[in-house]
Amino acid sequence: MFGQSRRRRQRERGTRVGGGHMNRLIPNAITVAALCAGLSGVRFAIDERWEMAAGAIVVAAILDGLDGRMARLLNGTSKFGAELDSLADFVSFGAAPALIVYLWTLNAWGGVGWVVALGFAVCCALRLARFNTALADPNPPKWAGHFFTGVPAPAGAGLALLPMMLHFEVGPGWVDRPIVGALVLAGVAFLMVSRLPTFSGKKLHVPRGWMVPTLVVCGLFFAVLASAPWATLLGLGAVYLAAIPVAVVVQGRMRRAEPPVAAPEEPAAAAVATKPVLSVVGERGGEAS
């Protein structure tokens, strides 16, 4: 009896959050680190350390890209981790960029600037809710794994900070005006809640023969990023925006190439079609009118 009780307690401990296993702890720790980076960006913005604020959001985006892949690599995915990741995404890529841009330039407009910042945060929340709902689809199209619907939250946060990054490169001027920040925030908010497809990259496969050249390109990219971070991120943002029309064309071709799904036969219709033969003739000796 005592042995069974001890085994039952061990099973209960194993079903708790994280289960005490490192393969679940590591991805969740990365998610918490991304959350802390996003909140730290707000703190740097309050202190008017704008480069540190933008850099904190970039670090949060990098960590957000790592936690999901680490969870799949370690087979440590869990419902708790998915919920934590969604909440961290809203804080780091919805609330934090809106507050940073508001403190940087939109506060000159007072309440109007605050409304623009709120609109961006709300659109980010709606985008994340739609993404979580789409995960429950048991039969998504084959092409769905190659695309996001709308701009994902980390990319949206980076696009929202492009005027600030351009300000770091060219200095003060027209890019730090409230009208520029408001237009960029509104445009990115629209892209997040839109139905426009954007490339996902989750199913990107590098052939074995291209592994070494890919690593060389990654090394060169990080070298350029370290030497000229803001210019590199501006170029990356421009390439991402230019890829959106390409994604629209590619998804359209994949949609047309996919064979149509035949509609299942209605059970009620089938029952009505067989009813005169099976029951009406036997009961009344003739066909029903």
Q: How many CB atoms lie within 10 A of CB 70?
A: 18
Question: Containing H/E element for 199?
Answer: strand 197-199
Q: Average pLDDT for residues 263-279, to the nearest whole number?
A: 45
Mean pLDDT value across the chain: 81
Domain enclosing residue 29, as ranges: 19-257
Is 285 within a domain?
A: no
In a domain, 13, yes or no: no
Domain membership flag for residue 217: yes
Work out the pLDDT band at 277, boundaries 50, 70, 90. very low
Q: Which of 32, 50, 245 has its CA nearest to residue 161?
A: 50
Evaluate whether residue 26 is within a structural domain: yes
Domain count of the fold of the chain: 1
Q: Looking at residues 95-101, what average pLDDT do you find?
A: 96
Residue 39 has pLDDT above 80, yes or no: yes
Least confident of 28-32, 256-260, 285-289: 285-289
* Residue pLDDT, tens place only, 224-259: 988 999 999 999 999 999 999 999 998 888 777 776
Q: Above 50 in pLDDT, residue 23?
A: yes
* Sequence-ordered alpha helix ranges (H) in 142-266: 153-160, 162-170, 178-193, 211-227, 229-257
- 3-18 pLDDT, tens digit per residue, is 555 555 555 554 444 4
Evaluate if residue 286 carries a pLDDT over 60: no
Q: Which residue has the higher pLDDT, 56 or 204?
A: 56
Flag whether pLDDT at 278 surpasses 50.
no
Q: Domain of 155: which CATH number?
A: 1.20.120.1760
- Taking only the tens place, the pLDDT of each residue in 50-90 is 999 999 999 999 999 888 788 777 777 778 888 898 999 99
Task: Please give the pLDDT value at position 93.
Answer: 95
pLDDT digits (tens, 9 = 90+) for 114-166: 999 999 999 999 999 988 887 776 677 776 777 888 899 999 999 999 999 99
- For residue 37, being part of any structural domain is answered with yes
Give kind and range of the element (H or E) at residue 276: none
Q: Is residue 197 in some structural domain?
A: yes
Residue 274 lies in a domain: no
pLDDT at position 26, please?
85
pLDDT band at 261 (very low <50, low <70, confident <90, very high): low
Characterize the bridge pairing of strands 147-149 and 197-199. Answer: antiparallel
Percent of the chain with pLDDT over 90: 46
Q: What is the mean pLDDT of residues 193-209?
A: 81
Q: Which of 104-113, 151-160, 198-207 has the weakest average pLDDT?
A: 198-207
Query: Which of 169 and 278 is assigned the larger pLDDT?
Result: 169
How far apart CA 192 and CA 153 sit, in angstroms, is 7
| Residue 125 lies inside a defined structural domain of this protein | yes
Burial of 255 per CB tally in 10 Å (0-12, 13-18, 19+):
exposed
Q: Is the pLDDT of residue 283 over 60?
A: no
Burial 210-245 (b: 16+ CB within 10 A, else e): eeeeeeeeeeeeeeeeeeebbebbbeebeeebeeee
